Structure 1
Amino acid sequence: MSRLEELIQELCPNGVEYISLDEVIDYEQPTKYIVKSTDYDNSFETPVLTAGQAFVLGYTDEEFGIYNASKSNPVIIFDDFTTSFHWVDFNFKVKSSAMKILKLKPKAENIASFRYLYYAMKNIRYSPANHARQWIRKYSKFCIPLPSLPVQQEIVRILDTFTELTTELNAELDARKKQYEYYRDLLLNPDNKFFTRAIFDVTKQR
């Protein structure tokens, strides 16, 4: 029996409670963190984020209106129209006001793991039907299972481990792809000397 199964059997023998997200998650409007200039440069320090697929749009040198997130004080940025979201544990600014900055309610710290809530949100299957703000009226009302805190923490440990392994695997695959493309171009490019010499030698043998 796994550690998770043991914890569930011990701490959740009668099942688990379901709660709505707005019972444990608070939100902040991002207005004061919006970047003023879009003249981004990779040499600048502060990332400018969007809750959409792009995530990091660029880097700014603006020194004011920075949201101070960290490993010990993470947030979730939530696209209020598409419901896309990202975990953020570093300082940032944002591109627009079309998002919410989500964080754990102080009163929920003894019953909920913020990282667990993030993973639980990943399991919500919902696609907005219209172009309207989603968090307050719709998304925050979704209910998720909330087992005891030790069970949440074990679930987080397992999922974080797989996330780390997946990241390492993707990095390895990217490296192998670049290596393959390098040697493909080196060996099959008609303009390189190696290829030309090899063709000449084969022709001479005939």
Structure 2
Amino acid sequence: MPSHRLVYLTLAAASIPLVTTAALSHNHKAGAKSAGNIVAGVSASKDHKTLVAAVKAAGLVDTLASGGPFTVFAPTDAAFGKLPAGTLDTLLKPENKGTLTSILTYHVVSGKVSAKSLVEQINAGGGQAVLTTVQGGKLTATLDSGKVVLRDQSGGTATVTTADLMQSNGVIHVTDSVSLPG
């Protein structure tokens, strides 16, 4: 297991802390290349078991394992734990597959958006970048103390805790909260 250490990557006059932990597995460090796809990347993570179960329940495994490229803002198990009691159990029921799919695809953006590119978009946008998700909704990215923060359409925020986990079909950015469409 690698040690938990904080490294800084200076991007477009902003510093985004990138935590090189076992966020997606001991083989994945921020900015590292991976031979696996997005599904393989999150499946290897001890911190993304809930996300993997949700992706399977929504029937999105084949889509997220396909060519892409995709940018995935991947909430940790702890992030799912912040949802109100019973919410996750309800979402995982077969009759709620549509709602679950909508929430999960709200965490996905078409194309490969690196941390550097996202910070450049934020700076070019006067302090914010609006990302259109695969679900069709919008996520607004800003910087707060050098960290990328996503504001969802419900007014919630999620901070990127680990960025640029490169996969064969895109990139994963780990977040500390679940983003919800409006």
Greater radius of gyration (CA): 1
Normalising by the residue count of structure 1, what TM-score does the alignment of the two structures yield?
0.23
Instruction: Choose between structure 1 and 2: higher strand proportion.
Output: 2
**TM-score for both structures, normalised by structure 2:** 0.26
Q: Which has the higher contact order (CA 8 A, sep 6+)?
A: 2
